[in-house]
Amino acid sequence: MNAARHAAVQPSDLRERCRQLLANGGSMHMAWAWFPKPGAPQVLYLAAEGPRAPLQVWRCDASNGSLPSLSTIAPSLSWYEREISDLCGVRFDGHPKPEPLVLQEGAAPVCPPLAPDYPPDSPMSFTRAPIQIPFVVGKDVQELPFGPVRADVMESAQFLFFYLGEHILHYQPRLFFKHRGMEKRFERLACGAGAVLAERVSGTGSVAHTLAYCQAVEQACGCAVPPRAQAVRVLLAELERLYNHLHYFGHLADTTTLKVGNAEGKWLEEKVKQLNGRLTGSRLLRNIVVPGGLRTDVTPPAGLSSSLESLREETAGYLAKLAETNSYLDRLITTGELTAAGAWEHGATGPVARASGIDQDLRRDHGYALYPQLRFPIPTRKAGDANARAQVRAEEILSSFGLIDEVLQTMPGGAIRNAPKPVPKAEGLGWAESPRGALFYAVHLDTDGRLARVKIGSPSFANWRVFQYTVRDSNMMDYAINEASFGLTVAGCDR
Amino acid sequence: MPNWTLFGLAHGTATTDWPAAGPDAGQEGVLGMPRFAPEKCQSGCRECVEVCVTQALSIHPDDPARLNLDYGRCIACQLCVEACPTEALTASGNWAYAVRERADLHWQQALHTTEAKQLRNAVSRTFRSSLHIRHVDAGSCNGCESELQALNNPFYNLHRLGIFFTASPRFADLLLVTGSVTYAMREPLLAAYEAMAEPRWVLAAGTCAVSGGVAAGGYSSGQGLEGLLPVDVWLPGCPPNPAALIHALLVLLERAPPKVKGGRHE
């Protein structure tokens, strides 16, 4: 992982080192484990001394199967540690909430599923067991279990509400019903095939996922991507941001019962998806990006710039209209407030973090593809409410149109791929600022240069954890609006 | 304060006339399943089999010179098209792969002349112009949901066809399932089906629901609906686009014929 600084850390030094990093304004991005040797898990931490400081990877051998928990110092690591316990069998001593997270109560794998000795393609045994959550008991307190099958076309997840009248006393999201074990599916694949899998981890983040994955492989194998491929990658990534953010506004308008606003947002999203289809053959922009560059060239057809320009005007008019609709704004302002301190401490990312005043964006802070050569604004807000989150996304839409235009104007020619040669036992770290925030891929290759372990650190995993803190003590009638304003996916979180 | 109604009306009609009239299904340039021309296939070459992530392509167990092709496992990733040295597999715009029999997604050397299967419960006239759907995400990547949500946008406007999504399985005629059916979603999925009144139908939407797709197998992911629920229409695609979904719904309602038989798209 040549782009990040590496350090071997002794388990006994771990807590102090983490405490110091946070005291100096640093943050812990994610943690994952893998098995360099069977039966000997190693835990890796991704840290940084500040938003723009170089990334650091700390390695810590969990030789006796346990490590000190960092969750009380860095709450953003809490879910990562629980996930490592579930899937790699490492215990974290002193974890404030050590119960299973990714695996449901009653799931009983014969050994940790990500261990190399887990029998291939054998399903876990599973008998649903009672769930372990804090219950709220009191006069007139109502319990509402909602999901995992929810109304309309929605991703599956369960939410438990304890409420009194309209007032939510306690809220517990239960995710990971959709856990497909995608990280395990990468194992033993060739690096090229992994790109196809990465596109199908979180469908509406296909480009960001495959981009982060490919950049991790390219780093591991020391491969330079040709300039034309770098430019096309930015084009695809910004088209993905466009259709996702437009979907977001359509959905947000729906939750505030603004029917025409909903239809208009969905219609604009459809126009971008149709444009994606004409440009790449895939409405979700799949099957183009590959380690080393692109699989097929993307040739912008004549008239693309002008159709994008009229789409930009239409979108700007739509967003301006939303911004002056009182019935819509009334439902957003002060809904689901997330303070800057809360967003930072719990590791919020993407537009959610930027709406709470945290000025970070991987496209600028740790530039990749063609981004270092492009200038674009990173919008932020201080209010941290649903309206601030919408405002940040609205500005990002307009900035994406600008980026697309600039890339189309200056599209370099030349080769589209410089295929990497797999380097045995190499490791790489890749990242992308997806429409939902910071996305990381860590890739470990085996002695044959095939994938031994792929870790996906997704923005929805980070933001779902943060989201629950904005629900407590809020109103039932604001819940759907608040959830929509976070713009989360379940697939990205559950993987 | 903007007047949204006028704003909407000023835009005119956004809805396509397809499929009743007009060719615009909104899928210009969209690639579908690869087209297979076995006469061009070079015996002994394994290029496509090597790159296929979901084993949609495999060597025929009885004849090592022949390819086995199962579109029910195909994710339309185009890797085989790029790998094939003889153009036996080529890119196509064929995405309307809804079939009533799972076997029709397997490439067959010779087309059988058997009658098309009648629906398990023939769809009576009552349902043909009014169908209510309960969707269950049984472990998808959210790609299928993205395209299902598009069905109610102004371009496709599913309501014009008399087809609606409903919240309660009690009111639903059709269970539309996406995803590979993870261990944790199996029970909620079966509970939703049990809650539906007869007559009821099942549509497996997307390659994951048909065969497990990229997630098939492993410790937590399932293999789709086969053997789990009585499926009436199978629709592979990764994801199936909104027009392919509409076509599948019309196939179910016997308002459109399937376009694929024995793995061959008409």
Please judge whether A263 and B149 are an interchain contact, meaning their C-beta atoms are less than 8 angstroms apart.
no
Q: A271 CA to chain B: closest CA distance, Å?
A: 9
Q: What is the mean pLDDT of residues B55-75?
A: 90
Q: For residue A1, what pLDDT is reported?
A: 44
Same fold, B35-95 and B125-265: no
Alpha-carbon distances of A82 from A17, A78, A107, A465, rounded to whole Å: 21, 6, 15, 12
- The CATH fold assigned to B125-265 is Rossmann fold (3.40.50)
Q: Does A491 touch chain B (CB under 8 A)?
A: yes
Pick the residue of A178, A461, A490 with the most B CBs within 10 A to test the interface with B by mutation.
Answer: A178
Please judge whether A204 and B241 are an interchain contact, meaning their C-beta atoms are less than 8 angstroms apart.
no
Please judge whether B31 and A267 are an interchain contact, meaning their C-beta atoms are less than 8 angstroms apart.
no
Please judge whether B146 and A204 are an interchain contact, meaning their C-beta atoms are less than 8 angstroms apart.
yes
Domain layout of chain A by residue ranges: 5-118, 186-482
Alpha-carbon gap, residue A450 to A189, rounded angstroms: 6
Q: Is the pLDDT of residue B138 over 80?
A: yes
More confident residue, B115 or B74: B74
DSSP code for B258: -
Confidence of residue B21 (pLDDT cuts 50, 70, 90): confident
Q: Does A260 touch chain B (CB under 8 A)?
A: yes
Gyration radius (Cα) of chain A, Å: 22
Domain A5-118, what architecture? 2-Layer Sandwich (3.30)
Q: What are the tens digits of pLDDT across the range B109-118?
A: 765 545 555 5
| Residue matched to tokens 């023939």 | B122
Gyration radius (Cα) of chain B, Å: 19
DSSP code for A477: G
Q: For residue B122, what pLDDT is reported?
A: 62
Which residues of A are less than 8 Å from B149 in CB distance? 153, 247, 266
Q: Does A140 touch chain B (CB under 8 A)?
A: no
Q: Is the pLDDT of residue B121 over 60?
A: no
Q: Which residue of B has its CA nearest to A320?
A: B2
Alpha-carbon gap, residue A378 to A361, rounded angstroms: 7
Q: What are the tens digits of pLDDT across the range B161-213?
A: 999 999 999 999 999 999 999 999 999 999 999 999 989 999 999 999 999 99
| Below-50 pLDDT ranges, chain A | 1-2
Residues A232 and A416 sit within 8 Å (Cβ to Cβ): yes
Alpha-carbon gap, residue B128 to B117, rounded angstroms: 18
Evaluate whether the domain defined by A186-482 bears CATH number 1.10.10.10. no
Q: For residue A453, what pLDDT is reported?
A: 95
Q: For residue B123, what pLDDT is reported?
A: 66
Q: For residue B112, what pLDDT is reported?
A: 55
Domain layout of chain B by residue ranges: 35-95, 125-265
A301 preceded by cis ω (within 30°)? Answer: no
Residues A236 and A288 sit within 8 Å (Cβ to Cβ): yes
Q: Is the pLDDT of residue B68 over 70?
A: yes
Which residues of A are less than 8 Å from B241 in CB distance? 277, 283
Alpha-carbon gap, residue B89 to B31, rounded angstroms: 13
String of DSSP letters for A297-326: ---PPTTHHHHHHHHHHHHHHHHHHHHT-H
**Global ipTM:** 0.93
Confidence of residue B65 (pLDDT cuts 50, 70, 90): confident
| Buried-exposed string A116-129: b where 16+ CB fall within 10 A, e elsewhere | bebeeeebbebeee
Element (H, E) at A107: strand A107-108
Which residues of B are less than 8 Å from A123 in CB distance? 183, 218-220, 222
Q: For residue B127, what pLDDT is reported?
A: 72
Q: A51 CA to chain B: closest CA distance, Å?
A: 30
Residues A162 and A201 sit within 8 Å (Cβ to Cβ): no
Q: How many CA within 13 A on the CB side of residue B258?
A: 25
Evaluate whether the domain defined by B35-95 bears CATH number 3.20.20.140. no
- Distance from the Cα of residue B56 to its chain's centroid: 15
- For A384, residues 6+ apart whose C-beta sits below 8 A from its C-beta are A337, A338, A339, A340, A343, A355, A356, A357
Q: For residue A414, what pLDDT is reported?
A: 92
